[in-house]
Chain A
């Protein structure tokens, strides 16, 4: 033993002394010749290494035949063989392949080559291209399988994010995690300044999202904010400003309007109403209500830098957008300060602070009335007739549609919103491999809404005799406490293991108070619009509080063999306070596997540098239910006996004590491909997601006397589809091209609903006979349109008589030439609700985005196209904008579109007021249109130039939504009615269309 020890010591000593000590110095710079601090210099196959200093300089002592590896995150590593040089300075190039790129995967991160599940990355620099109040607008079309449904053109509107189809009726909003802190369900991304975002990682399948358990069934969006890096302080200033404009919708003028109204009556054998030769008023309501240009401005300043011990990044931003109406705007101010403080070798403390202030005024929903009000009404009353206050100067329309200019003048609804977000992280590297992370996230929001309804008089049926002032204050306070232990080690260069275990606390408190009183003494003085100034009799107050707590434990294991085979498994248990004690805990898990085929020995290809096969399965949950759904709650009201008030109580909600989670199980299989050193990349994934125990608000038959609906876990949906992403990057001299195409297809169908229930109905329309126009049937796609199928228009009485059942019963005995022919689906000779059938599908066959980036010398051009194909829309305005039966205004050119004996090839039925055939009393495919479209969402042309004192300057012009190619006759093919994805999706309710925006901007870097 002694002998052995001596031998070993001797060998080591000799070995050590035999190798000569060579000192090498140098500087490491990036592709722009800027020094890279903290770049890594390593003597290959040893542990001998160092890092560059602040100026990119290093000194290392190496052996004779050593090879030096220079590396830095995000750059391609370089190896230099030592051949006696005293100085080795090197320039590193950015690593497009990004195989070493770190991907955040939930409570941790791994390098991209170890990602086994479906994760899409969208970079922050892509998100700042679209100037909008909500960063989700910029997300559209950039990640395959992630759909962003516009919420309309109002300032401050929040679009809906739908990841991989529909698996619930409760909404599709994914879980948002900001720097490791989960945000409450339904949080809109409005609070984020897009310039603060480093990237979005979107976890699309259950195996990736399982670590987030019961809140992850709609997918997870991991947002990482920008952090400081070591180096000189950098200052970036971005400003852009521009105008928004709406495309005018042409409505009929007075002459056409009068003719249409008259024809409706004369066609029924009644007297005409107007004399079209005598026109005294011809109001163009669009011009009167809508402003041509509305400004939008966005400004951002970012400051970042750091040393080895402290790194910081701070920003301040301002956003201001006005609507094209006289009312409606959105302003936002955000600040962010992120600090990373390396207290010691082992301990790092990070603190993020982000306050924000938002102010907005509701944009009134005027489009609906603006389209319907007749052109024979003046906007204002003549001076002589103005007897009331300034809100009473508007003329009442003949057809009783509220005067939109008047309505706009009376809308007072402003919200002031303050939010504060704090994120404190402590990282303790217990050993080289074992790290303890503790994190406290605090999220405080306070909002206050003030509303005022003034007294006014238009006519006895459109007036308000006493004004009301209203205020709502809400507070929300959440905290999240995460503690994890992470063990990460590579054993003998072949076995990579990564274990993560943790527990988390999540508490959410919401409380609100509403108060209102009537009788403010002066309608016109804004200083008196407070409850203290009101002296009316009606005082109302309400308020409540809710608390929702979740306690979780989770564990994940990743094992990778030789960088070729990677296994990933995770499990999480969530207990939520909103469920009754039994069945409170849900357990969710996921497993995935990937195979780096290109790392295999047998795989030799010059062209293909990355070929990865992925397969995954997992289970996640959804606990975002109406908390009160379990309870049989009692409400109160009022009644009178003998002239005195008494309290009444009644059953307010019929509960379900067995309520529990929804569960989504999914499978994902995919291939990632990289060719020509990732000049071309492709990724295709096929998935199937099945949801169970879906929470439905089931409407029981009315004879049960059950108020409203009952929440039940019934039913199951299935969503299938594929995501395809293609990328191409090429540089030819001064010319650089980047293309990114995403295409996705998804079909969501109902596998089962409640026992005994074969269908779900939604979107009840009172004016279409109180019928439901949306239907979800077992075995069919969710949320289809239902109604009557039309077979054309009757041209003469013979056709009416021959439209009969087998035994000769005339199906539509009340029809006249010019009326719609309806299909008697069940052939029983009667036209009734049994003949309703599926008439349209609001979901697209395909949707996708194409992003093009071109650079040539100092110029850069980027375009983003987005489109859908094969989706139908229920064009609700067409129930009155063409023929219709109500005396509201119609679209210009109606006379040419409706059937008449001289216009027999028309698509719309004849004008009639009585409408005995029910052309307009029932939903039919007359109102269903194909709304496939292709839209140029964003085009931006930039020019880089230099100014003394600035590192880089860029000026740009951009246009948003400036071109839309579609066959849809409505105002904006991107529609979504109220009621959520299943009930409302695809119904066009004349929501404010998306505006065209033209911007000029400047980016400066110091």
Chain B
């Protein structure tokens, strides 16, 4: 017995004191890579830049895409649409009864800044990677383009912004003291990034098959043209647009209806788009707009319903080709979808009984199951028609009416409309603006166009909205549209609360004001 006790004791002692503590305490983190070791290979650098692209449209429906839809609702092209679900944080913005705390302002702001930081990390870390120099230069240029893209979206939405251009500054405590820089400084950064990117990006025709969809020289030039146009630098905008048009890289789709098509990636007219695809193994790789922007009678959420005002604009031009590919109406067949002969626009739940045809997927082309974030419909940010119209507008304001008319005609020729080459002055200006509206309708450009296009120095949005706005007046006093006038779940006087002193920019999210302890100040009026 004693012997056994002794053995037991000795064993215990050995176990107790025998373990080496150094190995015992050395336990690294499992299952995850670290940033400092990450930038080691070409493939990893490429994957990191891929991650920046994710923030162009956000990873789901609400961060960035829904705010863009809301922007559309705040114009004369769209109603809020959904009259069944009470969402004052959405419908309020459309009606210019704006609650700054709406989650969509915050998610838009936050998502874009996360994208900016991702670009900053890439710009700081990729130079140190041992990889092919051409690829390195190209990846840096892609990062710059994307950073410029994010800042442009932010400055158009909110005005002056805190500018962050490096990753290292995030490690300093002084990062919390940033204030909003003036709008001019933001544009300086945007222009500088785009000019630098233009030099180092490939042409679309130079891209290999696996790189299609990545940004090109043409994309950077087009975006810069838009930036110049927004800054009213007419000549620069005209020149930059010309470069894209004359590069030979892009041509207009012969059929307008082919611009937005399922599985149709990087078409001849497409300059910068997001290549959504269908694969149920991966989350959020497909488009969600056909659902979120779709009719409530067609499995959609009904957010955003085209106005009769927009339809009238098409009709007044006799523009059937674009009308049938832009607006679907309740009870009518859907152009391009042979199986739908009477569309269910559910007018009791969708304000105008109309839906966006551009984001509509014909029944036969729908994936099974048909649900958000799985649809292979690309989202086009910039296409050649947009650049041509910018060229027309910039030319006009730069004093070159002839060139303006030539570009205008190019667009109208595609949809078999004649162009009055005798137009001049305000009439030409209005024709160009109207053409832009009809060509790019419901593609999320309208709000920014209306804010920057001015008549006698007054932004057009202020003339359309407000208690005496022409759009408001049309709906309240003139419109006889059978759907809109009967579905008053969304009031006809949408836009009457518009205030020119406040509503030319969106409010800074109150969360940011709180988190920055007041360093980031609110826009006037909010």
Contacts and interface: CB of A to CB of B under 8 A. Distances in A.
Interface of A: 270-271, 343-344, 347, 400, 426, 428, 438, 440, 460-461, 465-466, 481, 483, 503, 505, 507, 518, 536-540, 543-549, 551, 575-578, 584, 627-628, 631-652, 654-655, 699-707, 755-758, 761, 764, 766-772, 832-833, 885-887, 913-916, 918, 921
A428 B50 CA distance: 65
A201 to B, nearest CB: 26
A545 B210 contact: no
Interface string B6-22: 00110011011101010
B488 A634 contact: no
B51 A706 contact: no
Given A647-B50, A766-B103, A770-B106, A642 B281 contact: no
A702 B515 contact: yes
A428 B510 contact: no
B86 A913 contact: yes
Contacts of B109: 702-703
Contacts of A756: 173, 176, 517
A400 B514 contact: no
Contact of B25 (A577, A627, A915): A577
A769 B99 contact: yes
B30 A638 contact: no
Nearest to B105: A770
Interface string B255-282: 0000000010110000000111101111
Contact of B47 (A271, A465, A647, A652): A647
B164 A545 contact: no
A418 B386 CA distance: 64
Given A648-B50, A654-B170, A700-B176, A634 B15 contact: no
B513 to A, nearest CB: 7
Contacts of A460: 296-300
Given A347-B5, A428-B9, A758 B517 contact: yes
A438 B12 CA distance: 7
B126 to A, nearest CB: 12
Contacts of B121: 651
B308 interface: no
A645 B285 contact: yes
B457 interface: no
Nearest to A632: B35
A465 B512 contact: no
Contacts of B25: 549, 551, 575-577, 584
A643 B54 contact: no
B519 to A, nearest CB: 8
B204 to A, nearest CB: 12
Given A548-B27, A639-B54, A505 B170 contact: no
Nearest to A349: B8
Contacts of B285: 638-640, 645
A503 B12 CA distance: 13
A915 B17 CA distance: 71
Given A578-B27, A631-B32, A757-B517, A649 B48 contact: yes
B114 A481 contact: no
A631 B48 CA distance: 18
B36 interface: yes
Contacts of B512: 701-703
B434 interface: no
Given A642-B213, A761-B514, 5 more contacts: A460-B298, A545-B31, A648-B50, A703-B516, A833-B514
A508 B187 CA distance: 54
A628 B280 contact: no
Interface in B342-379: 369-371, 376
B265 A643 contact: yes
Contacts of A637: 51, 54, 59
B371 A465 contact: yes
B78 to A, nearest CB: 20
Closest 3 CB pairs of A and B: A705-B117, A769-B101, A465-B369
A538 B35 contact: no
B33 A633 contact: yes
Given A270-B488, A702-B109, A703-B520, A505 B24 contact: yes
A650 B54 contact: yes
Given A633-B32, A885-B88, A646 B263 contact: no
B520 to A, nearest CB: 7
Nearest to B512: A702
A584 B21 CA distance: 13
B478 interface: no
Interface of B: 1-2, 5, 8-9, 12-13, 15-17, 19, 21, 24-27, 29-36, 38, 44, 47-48, 50-54, 59, 84-86, 88-89, 97, 99-103, 106, 109-110, 113-118, 120-121, 161-162, 164, 170, 173, 175-176, 178, 209-214, 263, 265-266, 274-277, 279-285, 296-301, 369-371, 376, 488, 491, 509-517, 519-520, 522, 526
B12 A549 contact: no
B53 A639 contact: yes
B101 A771 contact: yes
Nearest to B121: A651
10 contacts: A343-B1, A576-B25, A639-B51, A642-B213, A643-B265, A701-B516, A703-B113, A705-B113, A833-B510, A886-B86
Chain B CB within 10 Å — which of A643, A652, A771, A887 has the most?
A643
Contacts of B99: 769, 918, 921
Given A465-B369, A538-B280, A699-B515, A642 B35 contact: no
Given A438-B12, A702-B512, A466 B369 contact: yes
A642 B265 contact: yes
A544 to B, nearest CB: 4
B21 to A, nearest CB: 5
B101 A704 contact: no
B213 A633 contact: no
Contacts of A644: 210, 277
Contacts of A547: 27, 30
Contact of A649 (B29, B50, B161): B50
A548 B28 CA distance: 9
Contacts of A770: 101-103, 106, 509-511
Contact of A634 (B19, B34, B102, B509): B34
A651 B117 contact: yes
B273 to A, nearest CB: 10
A638 B282 contact: yes
Given A633-B35, A640-B277, A642-B210, A833 B117 contact: no
A645 B54 CA distance: 12
Nearest to B37: A634
Contact of A632 (B36, B44, B102, B162): B36
Given A641-B211, A769-B101, A833-B514, A701 B32 contact: no
A537 B275 contact: no
Given A705-B116, A885-B88, A916-B97, A551 B276 contact: no
B280 A518 contact: yes
Given A633-B35, A641-B211, A706 B117 contact: yes
Nearest to B27: A577
Nearest to A436: B9
A644 B277 CA distance: 7
B514 A707 contact: no
B161 A703 contact: yes
A513 to B, nearest CB: 12
Contact of B175 (A465, A481, A704): A704
A766 B101 CA distance: 8
B516 A465 contact: no
A461 B296 contact: yes
Nearest to A702: B110
Contacts of A503: 16-17
A414 to B, nearest CB: 25
Nearest to A642: B212
Contacts of A627: 29
A650 B51 contact: yes
A885 B99 CA distance: 14
Nearest to A584: B25
